[in-house]
Copies of this chain bind each other. A is one copy, B any other.
Amino acid sequence: MAEGSMTSASPRELEERLRDTRARLEGDVDLWVATSGSPGGVHLIPLSYLWDGTAFIISTPRASVTGRNLLADSRVRLSLGPTRDVVVVEGTAEPVDIADLGPKAGDAFATRTGFDPRELDEPYQYFLIRPRRIQAWREANELQGRDLMRDGHWLG
């Protein structure tokens, strides 16, 4: 944890963290995606995403390290926000074919992220990432009470 000495504000209560976290999921454009599953070990890159209210949709070249990792091991960890105002997500990634995504979600993804994998020559793979656990904290005094979702269920 980033245990800085500059713990100025009081820790947020559950309700405020839930509100801040939902606003971030809906409002942010990019997140960090950590994967493993390949012989190369762990991988970490930023990707743009669409939050559909219950899951994250990302898209990456099928041949990329992240694409290959997620096809080999669906477990993924995401982070949003700066290091002193983080949202960390544990989830599982399900590959979704472009044909199965549907035009509405495809359009929403393109609008949100600013790129449309359906129009690219390079084969892209969409993944639907369902969160199992979501945590949010700012500084060390917010480590307690950082769980906002457990086993796929919001705590509030």
List chain A positions with a Cβ less than 8 A from chain B. Answer: 1-6, 29-32, 34-36, 40-48, 73, 75-79, 82-84, 86, 88, 113-115, 140
Given contacts A4-B113, A4-B114, A114-B3, contact A35 B42 (CB under 8 A): yes
Return the chain B residue nearest A43 by Cβ.
Answer: B77
Residues of B within 8 A of A76 (CB): 42
Given known A1-B47, A46-B1, contact A32–B83 (CB-CB < 8 A): yes
Note all chain B residues with C-beta closer than 8 A to A32: 32, 44, 79, 83
**Cα–Cα distance between A83 and B34 once the two chains are bound (Å):** 13
Give A110's nearest chain B residue, CB to CB.
B5
